[in-house]
Amino acid sequence: MLTDNPDLYRASQRARGADETLVDQLLDADVARRETIAAFETLRSEQNVFSKKVGKAKGEERAALLAEVKDLAAKVKQAQATADAAAAKASALQRSIPNLIVEGIPSGGEDDFTVLKTVGTARDFAAEGFEPLDHLQIAEKLDAIDMERGAKVSGSRFYFLKGIGARLEMAMMNMALDQAVSYGFIPMVTPTLVRPEIMQGTGFDVEHDDEIYRLERDDLYLVGTSEVALAGYHANEIMDLSDGPLRYAGWSSCYRREAGAAGKDTRGIIRVHQFNKLEMFVYTTIEQAEAEHARLLAWEEEMLAKMELPYRVIDTAAGDLGMSAARKFDCEAWVPTQGTFRELTSTSNCTTFQARRLNIRERQVVDGKAGKTRAVATLNGTLATTRWIVAILENHQNPDGTVNVPKALQPYLGGLEVLS
C-alpha cells in the first residue's frame, strides 16, 4: 500500500514523469480522513450516551438534556459531513495515482523504451524490383476496404471491411481464438457498453480521458477494449485460483475517439474509431503474475510468427504506460511504406491495481485452512485486432497487387493462398 511504502510510489511517479507531490497529498488526506472519522465517532458515542440519559431523566433535567442532545446532533451531523468530504478527497487522490511500476523498467516517455528483441528480416522491395504500396492502396485494389463510404455513413476514420477484407479479419480472429482456446482460455463475447464504476475501476479516467465515448443519457461508456468488461466480470467477488490462473479471451468491437491522432495515422485503418479485437485477460495470484506476463507475450509472438511478420518487442518506458499497467511489452511489426515498426499488440501486467479498485479478491489458504482474503493480480494482452491487416497486406504484397496469405492463416480462408 502507498501509506506503507510512500518512497516507492514517489520513485514510480518520478519514473513516469508524473506528479510526485500527489503521494504526499494523499498521505495528508489519509491522515485527515482518519482524524475526521475518529472525531465523528467520538461525537456519535457521546450522542448515544446522552440519548440514554434523556430516556431516564424527568422534568427540568430532561428539558436541559434535550437541548444538549439537539446541539450535539448538529455537531454529529457536521462531523459526519466533514468526515465524508475528507474520505471523498482521499479517494479522489487515490484514483489519480497510477499503478506502482515494476522495478527496473525504463524511465522516461514514449521514446525511451528498450528494445528486447527483433525477430525476422524486413523485405528488400528495391532488390525485388518494385515499390511497395501502402495498405490502403492494396486494399482498394482488392476491394477489401471502403473508407469513402465509411465516412459517408459514419464520418471520418470509419470504414467498411468488404469482401476479402472482411474474410481476412474474421479468419485472423478465428485463428487467434483457436490458439487461445488451446491454451485454456475461455471464449467470451463481451458487452461493449459498461457502467462508469467499471470503466473507472479498470483504470480509465472517465472525467478527463478524451479517448472515451460516453452515452450521457444512459451514463454508460463504450469500451476501447474488452479488458474493461472482463475486469468487471468478477467485481466484488472472492475468486478461487487454487487450480491456477483463470484466463478469458474476449471478442468484441472496440471504440476510441483517437482525439490526438494526426498525420499518416489518419490514413487507412491504422487509427480508427471502431475496430474488432481478441483480448486475453487473466486473473492470477500475485506470485504468478510475472510468469503469466511472460506467457502472454510468448502467445502474442506465436501469433506474429504465424502471420510471418518481422517484428520487435519493446519494454515500454514508465511514462508511456497507462494508468493501470505496472509493466507493458509492445510487439511492433515492420510497416514497409512507413519504414518503421508500428505497434500491433501489447501485454500489460496490472498487478493488483484493477482488483483493488474493483474489489476482486482470493481466499488465501494457510496450512490447509482458509485464511484472509487479498487482491488478485490481473493481466491483459491482444492476440488479434483489425490493425494487423495493415502489416499483413504490406509485408506479403506482390508486384501485381495481389497478397500472399500466411500459411497458418490459409485454412481459415478455405485454403486460399493468394488474395487477388
- For residues 74 and 121, state if they share a domain: no
Q: Please calculate the CA angle 331-333-337 and round it to the nearest 5 degrees.
A: 150
- pLDDT category at 61 given cuts 50, 70, 90 is low
Q: Tens of pLDDT along 301-337?
A: 999 999 999 999 999 999 999 999 999 999 999 999 9
Residue 416 grid coordinates? 486460399
Owner of C-alpha cell 476514420 = 157
- For residues 51 and 135, state if they share a domain: no
Q: At 200, give phi and psi (nearest 5°).
A: -70, -40
Top pLDDT among 408 and 88 is at: 408
The number of folded domains in the chain is 2
Catalytically annotated residue among 16, 247, 256, 357:
256
Helix axes 21-56, 6-16, angle to 10 degrees: 140
Catalytically annotated residue among 12, 362, 387, 394:
387
CATH code for the domain in which residue 355 is found: 3.30.930.10
Mean pLDDT of the chain: 91
Cα 69 → chain centroid:
51
- For residues 269 and 342, state if they share a domain: yes
In 85-192, DSSP assigns E strands to 114-119, 145-146, 160-161, 186-189
- For residues 72 and 39, state if they share a domain: yes
- For residues 130 and 262, state if they share a domain: yes
Assess if residue 11 is contained within a domain. Answer: no
The C-alpha atoms of residue 328 and residue 262 are separated, in whole angstroms, by: 24
The C-alpha atoms of residue 331 and residue 337 are separated, in whole angstroms, by: 18
Owner of C-alpha cell 489518419 = 266
Catalytically annotated residue among 12, 252, 346, 348:
346
In the chain, what is the greatest distance between 2 CA atoms, to the nearest angstrom? 108
Catalytic annotation present for 346: yes
Q: At 119, give phi and psi (nearest 5°).
A: -125, 130
Top pLDDT among 71 and 37 is at: 37
The C-alpha atoms of residue 67 and residue 17 are separated, in whole angstroms, by: 56
Catalytically annotated residue among 247, 271, 295, 361:
271
Q: Which residues are annotated as a binding site for ATP?
A: 256-258, 272-275, 343-346
Are the C-beta atoms of 117 and 251 separated by less than 8 Å? Answer: no
Q: Which residues are annotated as a binding site?
A: 225-227, 256-258, 272-275, 279, 343-346, 380, 382
The C-alpha atoms of residue 279 and residue 249 are separated, in whole angstroms, by: 5
Assess if residue 66 is contained within a domain. Answer: yes
Owner of C-alpha cell 495528508 = 28
pLDDT for 258: 82
- For residues 208 and 282, state if they share a domain: yes
pLDDT for 1: 73
Are the C-beta atoms of 94 and 25 separated by less than 8 Å? Answer: no
66 pLDDT more than 90: no
Lowest mean pLDDT among 14-23, 86-95, 384-393: 86-95
Assess if residue 7 is contained within a domain. Answer: no
Q: What H or E segment, with its residue span, contains residue 8? A: helix 6-16
Assess if residue 108 is contained within a domain. Answer: no
Assess if residue 273 is contained within a domain. Answer: yes
Are the C-beta atoms of 330 and 113 separated by less than 8 Å? Answer: yes
What mean pLDDT do residues 357-384 have? 90
Residues 122-146: b if buried by 16+ CB within 10 A, e if exposed:
ebebeeeeeebbbbbbbbbbbebbb
Q: What pTM was computed for the model?
A: 0.91
Is the Cα torsion angle 164, 179, 255, 102 positive or negative in sign? negative
68 pLDDT more than 70: no
Owner of C-alpha cell 474493461 = 228
Catalytic annotation present for 357: no
Residue 205 grid coordinates? 479516467
pLDDT for 371: 81
- For residues 170 and 283, state if they share a domain: yes
**Quick one: DSSP state of residue 409?**
G
Q: Which domain holds residue 339?
A: 114-419
Assess if residue 12 is contained within a domain. Answer: no
- For residues 166 and 46, state if they share a domain: no
pLDDT for 65: 61
Lowest mean pLDDT among 239-243, 299-303, 362-366: 362-366
Are the C-beta atoms of 299 and 280 separated by less than 8 Å? Answer: yes
- For residues 75 and 132, state if they share a domain: no
54 pLDDT more than 70: no
Catalytic annotation present for 343: yes
pLDDT for 7: 87
55 pLDDT more than 60: no
Catalytically annotated residue among 140, 211, 237, 343:
343
Q: Which residues are annotated as a binding site for L-serine?
A: 225-227, 256, 279, 380, 382
- For residues 225 and 264, state if they share a domain: yes
- For residues 249 and 131, state if they share a domain: yes
- For residues 84 and 212, state if they share a domain: no
Assess if residue 4 is contained within a domain. Answer: no
Catalytic annotation present for 256: yes
- pLDDT category at 48 given cuts 50, 70, 90 is confident
57 pLDDT more than 90: no
DSSP 3-state assignment of 292?
helix
Assess if residue 412 is contained within a domain. Answer: yes
Percent of the chain with pLDDT over 90: 71
Q: Tens of pLDDT along 341-356?
A: 999 999 999 999 999 9
Q: Tens of pLDDT along 208-230?
A: 678 899 999 999 999 999 999 99
The C-alpha atoms of residue 47 and residue 75 are separated, in whole angstroms, by: 10
Q: At 65, give phi and psi (nearest 5°).
A: -65, -40
Catalytic annotation present for 271: yes
Of 69, 96, 123, which closes a domain?
96
Top pLDDT among 242 and 59 is at: 242
